[in-house]
Amino acid sequence: MAKVLSPEEFLELGKSLPMIDVRTPAEFEEGHIPDALNIPIFTNEERVLVGTKYKRASKDSAVLLGLELVGPKLAKFVKMAKKFAPQKEIMVHCWRGGMRSGSMAWLFETAGFKVYLLKGGYKAYRGYIRKQFAEKSELVVLGGMTGSGKTEVLHEMQKQGAQVLDLEGVAHHKGSVFGALGQTDQPSNENFENELAKVWLDLDPNKPIWVEDESKSIGSVWINDALFDRMRQTDVVKILIPKSERIKRLVEEYACFNSEILAHMISKIGKRLGGLNVKLAYESLEKGDYATVADITLSYYDKAYRHGLSKREGQTIHYLELEKDNPAENAQKVIEFYNSLKK
């Protein structure tokens, strides 16, 4: 008989055994446990047919239809399971831990597998990970104006032993209107949260956990309420880097992109920049004067960041002045600065 595990137990065991998600491809694409594999009992269309039969006829007739649809695929399911789990130990879940996962567990056990089921299914997993973000931990926010290299500083801090939750890395977006340039497609909001949770669950809550200062949304995805509330309540270490250094960074990061693409991005914040600034930015793009373009856009982003920071009540902000845009050196200075604050 399949062993039923809590979400915490299921995730821990999932580090060494294959996790099989038996929901439809559409459900799986919308959101799934990181590293899970999809062996759908029903196709997207088949699930609609079974659901319609359940609503319009009866549960029994829906079950019979389901059996008719699944019957010819049983051998295929077992073959796929053997491919994923040659040692014949496998983990299975569906949406709520009901008939779909139970049926697949029965099939795999019949084929000689040792099977583990997720109690409450994917829905229970989602509830579990959301609670974890609200648990007590030493969260620290790294702030700074656009172009300060915060993401690279965090990466260097991680190399130096700090715990980091890379929001922009998981989101595949750098946060600004230019943030999608050079990035792969963003995940669904569920998968963004799931991937964050995967990292979060492996961090030590008794040691500092660093995140970059972000707004609620990063491109098309959103930081969940529990984590975002924590980010707005904890200390911020804001690095202050000269504007000239920030302009150099932005030129290095974005001058490689087509001028038409950059002009389109500028148009998205055109109203906030003002007509004259937009005109100057377009003219500078045509001349290849990317430094001026960066300077103009920073006038908007700096103002927006200062305004946002001023509205945060009850949040302590510590300022650290840095002379150069040198992520490795700045990472060390940030760590030393924060450690001095704790003494």
Q: Could you give the CA distance from residue 226 to residue 233 in angstroms, rounded to a whole number?
A: 11
What backbone phi and psi angles, to 5 degrees, belong to 260? -65, -40
1 by Cβ neighbours in 10 Å (0-12 / 13-18 / 19+) ranks as exposed
CA distances from 105 to 37, 65, 71 (A): 15, 19, 15
Here the tokens at position 143 are 């702030």
What backbone phi and psi angles, to 5 degrees, belong to 61? -65, -35
Give the closest residue to 136 by CA, choosing from 212, 207, 38, 65. 207
Question: How far apart, in Å, do the first and last CA atoms of the chain sit?
Answer: 55
Q: Could you give the CA distance from residue 203 to residue 132 in angstroms, rounded to a whole number?
A: 11
Here the tokens at position 184 are 């792969």
DSSP, res 23: S
Beta strands 217-218 and 221-222 are antiparallel
Q: Who contacts 304 (Cβ-Cβ below 8 Å, separation ≥6)?
A: 272
Q: Which of 36, 94, 117, 154 is catalytic?
A: 94
Q: 94 catalytic, yes or no?
A: yes
Active site residues: 94
